[in-house]
Amino acid sequence: MKQLKMLRRLALSCSAPQMPKPACTQAVRRGAQVPKNSGAQVLRGTFAQGSVRAPGFASSAPLHLERARVLRVGGIEGMRNHWATKWTEGEAELQEATRIFAEAEIRPRVSKMDKEARMDPELIQAIFDNGLMGIEAAEEYGGLSMNFTATLLAIQEIAKVDPAVAVMVDIHNTLTITAFNRYATDAQKSEYLPRLCTDTVSSFCLSEAGSGSDAFALKTRADFNKEKGVWVLNGTKCWISNSKEAGLFLVFANGDFSKGHRGISCFIVEGSNPGLSIGKAESKLGIRFLPPKPKLSIL
């Protein structure tokens, strides 16, 4: 008991560590110009830079989250400045609708998909049709205009039935949709979000053989071809979920290694890009029908 009290006292005396600043806050010089129809454009904000076929202006000005976020959930508008103690009406409705969908559409397919190590295309489209791939995207782009809590509730209900489907929905919503919501230009949102909400699965390409938890050590490089006005990526990614089903990839690369992690950028790459190749899937003990690819090469 005395030892436990000492540990508690020690824990109380320790201050919380400071969170590091975003890796890509100054990845691009403010005001860097990208040629029109160049085949590449910077994703705005602190997250990353780079895109495809979207001409415009690049900015590295950091975006700051508002202290109090306006939520529009199921027609309910309001300010949430406190910890949630119960779900809103819209959140609860989405949770229940997702539970019913998971039991009716996912559970009957789980055994077959696991044996075949393959996601059922009809199930993927059904998930899109029920709005579960654009929960936080704005309605104007085909999304539900809901909040992060709603996204988590939907993922939780899917995971109760099968974790592999939950991983696909999780990556697509919490990584890709969030990146576009926070850091994409209006042109990029208009071009990509309607697809991401209706029929295009996405993949988040960060990990490499030598940079897993140490993401700053990635070796994939990005070079800008001035003559053609395009970005050229060279590198290999590993353990990339959704890669087999994805039609759009967010690929992290370093455009200036002399700046260390501040040179890291994120590029939007179409799945149809001829320089993109996907390796053989790894055989796993579980979550078999969402197999990560050991190698995703970009040239």
Residue 49: the pLDDT is 34
pLDDT at position 295, please? 55
pLDDT tens digits for range 164-218: 999 999 999 999 999 999 999 999 999 999 999 999 999 999 988 888 778 888 9
What's the confidence (pLDDT) of residue 291?
55
Model confidence over 21-36: pLDDT tens digits?
333 323 323 333 333 4
Q: Which pLDDT belongs to residue 299? A: 54
- Interacting residues of 202 by C-beta distance below 8 A, sequence separation 6+: 171, 172, 175, 176, 196, 242, 246, 247, 248, 249, 250
- Decide if 86 contacts 115 (C-beta within 8 A): no
Distance (Å, rounded) from C-alpha 247 to C-alpha 245? Answer: 7
pLDDT at 84: 59
CA 295 to chain centre: 19
CB atoms within 10 A of CB 16: 5
Whether the model clears a pTM of 0.75, i.e. scores above it, the answer is: no
**CB-CB neighbours of 53 under 10 Å:** 15
**C-beta separation of 191 from 184 below 8 A:** no
Token readout for 279 is: 């390796």
Per-10-residue mean pLDDT of the chain, 299 residues long, equals: 35 37 32 37 36 31 32 40 74 96 96 88 96 97 96 97 94 96 95 97 90 86 90 88 90 91 92 85 67 56
Q: What is the pLDDT of residue 268?
A: 93
Q: How many helices (H) and strands (E) does the chain have?
A: 8, 11
- How far is CA 34 from its chain centroid? 24
